[in-house]
Amino acid sequence: MTQAGRAWKYGDHVDTDAIIPARYLNVSAVEELARHCMEDIDADFAGAVQPGDVIVAGENFGCGSSREHAPLAIKGAGVSGVVARSFARIFYRNAINIGLPILECPAAVEDAESGHQLEIDLETGQIRSLSTGRVHQAEPYPAFMMEIIRAGGLVPYTRQRIAEDQVS
């Protein structure tokens, strides 16, 4: 699974309120969440992000409350993945659960600037900057997590497994 897109770079401690402001937590439609993604820290993001783009961030991305709305808003906006120095633990789990690829790679974060073109190979954990030519290595996903990502999240993965069990 290789994905490519433009980088949107943010700093350290981007919390879930910055990703999707609390005033939108009564919204459940992913399309509506996507329209408000990052709006309090980057008013241009939701209107300019393109399918396949990548969020790049510093330490502790997704800190704050444990709301699933944050990774849903990012995925709904068309972002193909997030590369950060580190992630808040609950955000990491929520992202995997909804099928949003995320990778920890401090070197890739250092190298990237907003607007750079990045290519991410989820199978190998390789992050290539098409803008600088540099290649960085993140820890690849274990096989079972890659299956969840490929399926689009934990719920589709579970449904797929149930269907496979019923056939056999």
Ramachandran angles phi, psi of 106, nearest 5°: -55, -40
CA gap 130, 160 in Å, rounded: 35
CA gap 81, 138 in Å, rounded: 13
CB 131 within 8 A of CB 116: yes
CB 91 within 8 A of CB 69: no
Q: Can you give the pLDDT of all 168 residues of the chain as single tens digits?
A: 899 999 999 999 999 999 999 999 998 899 999 999 999 999 999 999 999 999 999 999 999 988 899 999 999 999 999 999 999 999 999 999 999 999 999 999 999 999 999 999 999 999 999 999 999 999 999 999 999 999 999 999 999 999 988 887
- Bridge pairing between strands 102-104 and 126-129: unpaired
2: tokens are 């290789």
One-letter amino acid for residue 81 of the chain: G
Q: Could you tell me if residue 78 is left (phi over 0), alpha (psi between -120 and 50 degrees) or otherwise beta?
A: left
Helix H or strand E encompassing 119: strand 117-121
